[in-house]
Amino acid sequence: MSRQEVADFLRHLADERELSANTVKAYTRDLAELETFLDQYLGRSDWTWGDTEVDRLALRGFLGWCGRKGLSKRTAARRLAAAKSFFRFLHREQLIEANPGRSVRGPKVEKRLPGHLAPGDIREVFDFAEREAAENRLVGTRTLLILELLYGSGLRLAELHGLDVGAVDEPAMQARVMGKGRKERIVPVTERAVRALERYSLRRADVSDRTSGPLLVNNRGGRLSTRSIQSAVRRCFEHAAGARGLSAHALRHTFATHLLEAGADLLAVKELLGHVSLSTTQIYTHTSKERLLRVYRDAHPRSR
């Protein structure tokens, strides 16, 4: 079996579609699992992607194999989606005669409502971060800036991690970020974020060049890792009961949820988040509706 087709597909994802390194790694793992299954399913390792036996039934068998391994429906659906995307590529490049994934449906997966923080929890998280920032040290001032940009501007973790000095235009109160698929967008920045950046910049200058390089730095002047960003956020989350157990990404979910609950236009929120499809943004409307339903049930005397 030639693995060149997989390598070409992964190169297409990285270079032409400009997907993130993490996304390409996920495709790599999923297709490796598909190869392992096909070795077992076909009982040989000399098969090719164009073999007639690598068909719709084989992909259905792949789904069943994932289920027998104890994988969730969501994970199995993702692996099937990776396989179908790969076969579309092979068919488009005329490397196979027919696309076996065209009519294969994945397991039905319920949309998971994103975890987010209530306004009271947000206040507790920021109160703790502001107390630490008042000590005027690199770590405390940096953590406050992280929170202000994740919640105040709705940034993804990877977008925040990739920010360089100069990406935030303080007078204009906006930032230039590189989103998924290397698509650049401009996002608003709050006054509090600008103040947090001014305070942090003084401490950042103690360990790194003030005019260039990554915005978020460690105490050696190198770019702060995503793991360190997550750790800083989670430490603040420990000080709010409703935030414990959530990841840094919950601040982006909270940004969107609070905007919609305050009456923001769905299309505007879509642009702020950098979503390609409106359907991706609409999941936040479910969160808001759940909250309204709870308020109604708790407050209206005839709701029960």
Instruction: Identify residue 269 by its one-letter amino acid code.
Output: V
Catalytic position from the list 12, 88, 176, 275: 275
Task: Please state the domain extents for the chain.
Answer: 4-92, 120-246
Residue 284 bears catalytic tag: yes
pTM: 0.68
Give the active site residue among 91, 180, 185, 192: 180
Contact 245, 152 (CB under 8 A): no
Is 275 among the catalytic positions? yes
Measure the CA–CA gap between 234 and 93, rounded to whole angstroms.
45
Question: How far are the Cα atoms of 134, 225, 236, 238 from residue 231, in angstroms, in the given order?
Answer: 20, 10, 9, 11
Please tell me the distance from the alpha carbon of residue 106 to that of residue 100, in angstroms, as a whole number: 13
Q: 201 is written with which tokens?
A: 């910049």
Which regions of the chain does DSSP assign to beta strands (E)? 168-169, 174-178, 184-188
CATH of 120-246, one of 1.10.443.10, 3.30.450.40, 3.40.1390.20, 3.40.50.150: 1.10.443.10
Give whole-number Cα distances, 174 to 191, 192, 228, in Å: 10, 12, 24
Q: How many CB atoms lie within 10 A of CB 61?
A: 15
Is 44 an annotated catalytic residue? no
What does the pLDDT read at residue 177?
A: 94
208 — phi, psi (to 5°)? -150, 165
Q: Token pair for residue 166?
A: 């100069």
Both structure tokens of 135? 């000590």
Longest pairwise C-alpha distance within the chain: 70
Token output for 180: 């998924």
Q: 116, 161, 252, 258: which one is catalytic?
A: 252
Tell me what the mean pLDDT of segment 124-141 comes to: 96
Of 84, 142, 156, 199, the active-site residue reads: 156
CA–CA separation, 170 and 161 (whole Å): 19
DSSP 182: G
pLDDT tens-digit profile of 13-25?
A: 988 887 878 889 9
Angle between helices 73-92 and 21-42 (to 10 degrees): 90
pLDDT-based confidence at residue 1 (cuts at 50, 70, 90): very low
Catalytic-residue membership of 249: yes
SS3 186: strand
Per the residue annotation, which of 88, 223, 249, 291 is the catalytic one? Answer: 249
Q: pLDDT tens digits for 27-74?
A: 999 999 999 999 999 999 999 999 999 999 999 999 999 999 999 888
- pLDDT of 162 > 70? The answer is yes
Q: Read off the pLDDT band of 229 (50, 70, 90).
A: very high
Angstrom distance (rounded) from CA 100 to CA 298: 51
Q: What is the pLDDT of residue 100?
A: 94
